[in-house]
Chain A
Amino acid sequence: MASVTFSPDDRYNAFITTLSGAETGPGRLSGIPVAVKDNISTRGIPTTCASRILTGYIPPYDAHVVTLLKREGAAIVGKTNMDEFGMGTTTENSAFGPTLNPADPTRVPGGSSGGSAAAVASGMVRMALGTDTGGSIRCPAAFCGIVGLKPTYGRVSRYGLIAYANSLEQIGPMARNVEDVSLLMEVLTIHDPRDSTTIACPYRHTPDPTIRGLKIGVPEEFFGEGVDPRVASVVWEAITRLEAQGAEIVTCRMPSMAFALAAYYVTCTSEASSNLARFDGVRYGPQADTRRTWHESFQEQRREGFGTEVRRRIMLGTFALSSGYYGKYYAKAQAARQQVRNDFLRLFRTVDVIAGPTMPTVAFRLGEKTDPLSMYLSDVLTVPANLAGVPAISVPCGTSEGLPVGLQVMGQWFRDENVIDVAAACEQGVSS
């Protein structure tokens, strides 16, 4: 078996682990260096979720997507940096230090798949796997100026993805162009019965930028309060180009946007509070201190092992599920989530895809966002797709202040092909 030499100048701190002699074999991805976000299990390779609590953990098995990459001959050259357990929008919440944005190293790359985005944007790898719970593929794709797709929920197996919020997240492809994203998507969608939330719906598609007659819905809320007008205008220009390419633009409304973000944060923190309970230092990770009692040791593990934001989200989720508050938070969030789904259902009766900005602003300066709530608010445009489970892509559509801006395109359930095509059209529009 051949191997791929990989000794990058990782000046952006994109990687947590690099592998100098990654194996490659025959297949559609033969010889292509691929980076994998470090919350995706790789047999024999440390998998940290950028957390101290997984120090020393080496998975004894491969995630399904990793098996698929290997099957197609890809060379897995490294594990990328991220916000701890995916909890962040900047890749600053990492036990391994922040990743820098190759488009401007004084800026964040976005998150939580910031390492994957930086590795792709800087040209260290041709493609990468990210994961997207509330925008974690699309945000860094937009900030770094690359393409990132969050597939339809249930299209890519999560087996081996270390869970942050199971009902929201998907693994997805990131690359510099739509074609590579599409190619990687073909590899990732081979069905895996080990993930009971998936269905067999393989993606076999060549991006087709012809969008004549396609109806694109543009919700007013995506250009509302909090969206930087300069970003908004870049995105509107891109949408206008799509119109020039033959698409029909339909402005519409998405009232559930009012509470989508709250519903998202209640849901993801609730699930996280449960998912992150297994790190007790008994089976893996830093060893529990057996001189103390169970609860003393467990608290010590969680105090030492998790960063502040992770601890905050565990506490928020614990509160949202606790007796007396479940109805006010968790149950209401599920009702809100249903209304988001209903909004998409209603809109998709008249339009084929929905478009808007991926992020309300360009990439933040490193250290700029310190307040958790204002950080959360920057996810407002990406979370609806996760709440509803629809596919959503971010594709570069221009720049503002010299920084990349992403166009977000959301499609109908299991029609990831549509958003790929619109992204391809946008790509064509930008380059021409």
Chain B
Amino acid sequence: MIEEKDVEHIAMLADIGITKEELSEFTGKFNEILDYFDILDQVEETGASEQELANIFREDEIVPSLPRDEVLANTRDAEDGFFRAPRVM
């Protein structure tokens, strides 16, 4: 059973900005879903079978980069060729 404070903690980890109204709604649904997930407790750990496909590489050869106008085409907020982001501190 998880509580609202647990959901708040998850929202903090997910950095998702949960609203008060969502909190109780999410908490209720989460408990139903997590109860259902409890069936996984019955699963016995088996060694994962080896994935057949391994060692997929590309060679160290230069491929042209995107032209800068295309790089910045999807932002309205470029400055001197940089993207602008909110302050981090």
Contacts and interface: CB of A to CB of B under 8 A. Distances in A.
Asked if chains A and B are in direct contact (CB within 8 A), the reply is yes
Interface of A: 56-58, 60, 154, 193, 196-197, 199, 258-259, 261-263, 265-266, 273, 280, 282-285, 287-300, 302-303, 306, 308, 311-312, 314-316, 318-319, 322, 328-329, 331-336, 338-339, 341-342, 371-373, 376
Contacts, number: 148
Contacts of B71: 60
Nearest to A298: B15
Given A262-B37, A263-B40, A315 B85 contact: no
10 contacts: A57-B74, A196-B56, A262-B39, A282-B85, A283-B83, A284-B75, A287-B76, A293-B88, A314-B14, A372-B33
In this complex, the member of B10, B29, B36, B56 whose beta carbon has the largest number of chain A beta carbons within 10 angstroms is: B10
Interface residues of B, number: 46
In this complex, the member of B11, B33, B73 whose beta carbon has the largest number of chain A beta carbons within 10 angstroms is: B33
Interface of B: 7, 10-11, 13-19, 22, 26, 29-30, 32-33, 36-37, 39-46, 48-49, 53, 56, 58, 66, 70-71, 73-77, 83-89
Contacts of A282: 75, 83-85
A interface: dominant SS: helix
Contacts of A259: 39-40, 42-43
A295 B49 CA distance: 40
Given A303-B16, A303-B17, A312-B26, A60 B73 contact: yes
B86 A58 contact: no
B74 A303 contact: no
B37 A329 contact: yes
B10 to A, nearest CB: 5
Contact of A60 (B16, B42, B44, B66): B66
A311 B45 contact: no
Given A299-B16, A303-B19, A328-B41, A373 B32 contact: yes
In this complex, the member of A265, A294, A319 whose beta carbon has the largest number of chain B beta carbons within 10 angstroms is: A319
Nearest to A331: B45
Contacts of B89: 293
A322 B16 contact: no
Contacts of B13: 318, 322
A305 B14 CA distance: 14
B83 A295 contact: no
Nearest to B45: A335
Contacts of B11: 315
Contacts of A333: 40
A319 B84 CA distance: 31
Nearest to B85: A282
